[in-house]
Chains A and B, each alone.
Chain A
Amino acid sequence: MTRAEIEAELERLHPAAFAWALACCGRDREDALDVLQTSYLKVLEGRASFAGRSSFKTFLFGVIRRTAQEARRRSLLRRLALADWSRKRPPAPAPPLPEERVALLRALEALPRRQRQVLELVFGFGMTVEEAAGTLGISPGSARVHYERGKKRLRGTLSHG
């Protein structure tokens, strides 16, 4: 793929990529934007190259997930080293959400990260469990276990909440 083709593909997937970056960054908009820009630059500069083994969307989502993971580690180290309390800033005012979406977000927060990510990829972005496994860098069997357990817990939380 040429740079122009890659850029066009990134632009086409941009809204979904932003939504996925939000999911990877604990719904922190500022972090998501940082992660997204870094991911785009990685892809465009060839630091993350698309080998064509999966769809471009799966590849891009994998890059975003890894970049978010790196950002989380850096943030943790920075907080430990500098006692960077400024991270506890007041959250940006979010638009009012319907009650059922608030309940969904709370139920998702209670899930382990892997289960939450598999469910978001499958239900939110229409991926198969195998595609979700490729995005998360885990085996399809492991992804299926996360999917089943996460779905069970999520249903339980939503029905009780």
Chain B
Amino acid sequence: MAEDRDLERLFEGLRRQDEASAPRFRDVLAGRIVSGPRVALRLPVLRLAAVVVLLGVASVMAVRFVRRAPEQALPEKETPIAAWSSPTAWLLETPGRELLTEVPSLLDSPPESSSEKTDGMRNPTPLRKGDRS
């Protein structure tokens, strides 16, 4: 088991080594120590990321433009809103629909063809004796 003194000795050795590798105070304060490798590595990645983003945005805009173009090419009809009717309005036109809104007149004269037939039935001419043959 490492005792406290052993730990102190180990930590102190590590600290002394770190302290010995410290750059000058003025250089650190002035920021003269530039982390060169990191900048050199990061820039190409940022550029690549920017190019990919720009290409993505451009392609999305192009696809949208192509899809919208035929719709925009159609001439717009200038139809007043009051004249508009649904394309499926004809489905509401049922046979005999006028019976719901109008009262049919019973006094109207029936068609001639049918009245002739019925008149003959209602008022038959009396037969005479000689007519049977």
Q: Chain B contacts of A97 at CB under 8 A?
A: 17
Once A and B bind, how many residue pairs between them come within 8 Å at the CB atom? 94
Q: Which size bracket describes the interface of A in this complex?
A: 35 or more
Known: A19-B19, A40-B28. A86 touches B42 (CB 8 A): yes
Say if the beta carbon of A16 comes within 8 Å of chain B. yes
Say if the beta carbon of A84 comes within 8 Å of chain B. yes
Of the stretches B5-13, B66-74, B120-128, the one at the interface is B5-13
Q: Which of B10, B21, B23, B49 contacts A104 (CB 8 A)?
A: B10
Please tell me if the beta carbons of A101 and B14 are within 8 angstroms of each other in the complex: yes
Q: Which size bracket describes the interface of B in this complex?
A: 20 to 34
A151 to B38, CA, bound (A): 35
Q: Which applies to chain B's interface (DSSP): helix, strand, loop or mixed?
A: helix
Please tell me if the beta carbons of A155 and B2 are within 8 angstroms of each other in the complex: yes
Say if the beta carbon of B46 comes within 8 Å of chain A. yes
Least distance between A45 CB and chain B CB atoms (Å): 12
Question: Residues of B with Cβ closer than 8 Å to A?
Answer: 1-2, 4, 7-8, 10-15, 17-23, 25, 28-29, 31, 33, 35, 37-38, 41-42, 45-46, 49
Closest 4 A-B residue pairs measured CB to CB? A19-B18, A15-B19, A18-B22, A123-B11
Other A-B contacts than A40-B28, A97-B17, A101-B17, 7 sampled, CB-CB below 8 A, are A10-B25, A10-B29, A15-B20, A18-B19, A30-B38, A120-B11, A159-B2
